[in-house]
Chains A and B, each alone.
Chain A
Amino acid sequence: NAGVTQTPKFRVLKTGQSMTLLCAQDMNHEYMYWYRQDPGMGLRLIHYSVGEGTTAKGEVPDGYNVSRLKKQNFLLGLESAAPSQTSVYFCASSYGRGYEQYFGPGTRLTVT
């Protein structure tokens, strides 16, 4: 039982490049989330999903897209990376609304 896993762990992009971050969970959770965390700031919700095939915008969705084609996977895409997207990205999942969230180990992204 791996819980929540994220790939890759680290990535460096040049401005304008694109990439996809993959999150996978093996707990059969319905809800999945993508957050970013910047130094001195708390977690900010980018997008979330309440079930397979659904996605919704969070607090800071601009510049990101997501897809949830399978219940266990939640993908975060950056179409044209910008230096402002340099951050640590955490994926999380939960059984449902109001339940505790379980986090993946994070992806450290640097955009130069």
Chain B
Amino acid sequence: RKEVEQDPGPFNVPEGATVAFNCTYSNSASQSFFWYRQDCRKEPKLLMSVYSSGNEDGRFTAQLNRASQYISLLIRDSKLSDSATYLCVVNIVGRRALTFGSGTRLQVQP
């Protein structure tokens, strides 16, 4: 079983829609969490960190549920430019590198 699991998608949504992705993690020693965005044939880039109380950055909202061991990303008012793969990333205590999920692909259509 993978330590970080994501639905690979693709999620096909119209412009202006609200879309949400979930990510589950299996290691209860996971300590910090991030969402990264990766455009086709480009490097992953940090989208936002995920805080215990949840946090928002413009149209993006991240939530953490430690009891159920999942994090979520909500995108409101989707734009064409939001089309990308979204990577769920977890810091597991004792590990020197972050653990990356395989990503969820989002395609926003006109």
Residues of A at under 8 Å CB distance from B?
A: 31, 33, 41-43, 45, 48, 50, 56, 58, 88, 90, 94, 97-98, 100-106
Does the CB pair A42–B100 fall under 8 Å?
A: yes
A31, closest chain B residue (CB): B96
Could you give 30 example pairs across A and B, Cβ below 8 Å? A31-B96, A31-B97, A33-B97, A42-B87, A42-B100, A42-B101, A42-B102, A42-B103, A43-B44, A43-B100, A45-B97, A50-B96, A56-B96, A58-B97, A90-B43, A90-B44, A94-B98, A97-B91, A98-B31, A98-B32, A100-B34, A100-B46, A100-B49, A100-B98, A101-B46, A102-B46, A103-B45, A104-B43, A105-B42, A106-B43
Contacts of B46 in A (CB 8 A): 100-102
B98 touches A101 (CB 8 A): yes
Per-residue A-contact encoding for B30-53, CB less than 8 Å = 1, 0 else? 011010000001111110010000
Identify which of A31, A42, A104 gathers the most chain B CB atoms within 10 Å of its CB.
A42
Interface centre among B42, B97, B101, B103 (most CB of A within 10 A): B97
Least CB separation from A50: chain B residue: B96
Q: A42-B101, A98-B91 are in contact. Are A105 and B43 (CB under 8 A)?
A: yes
Residues in chain A near residue B95, CB distance under 8 A: 97
**B82-110 interface with A by 8 A CB criterion:** 87, 91, 95-98, 100-103
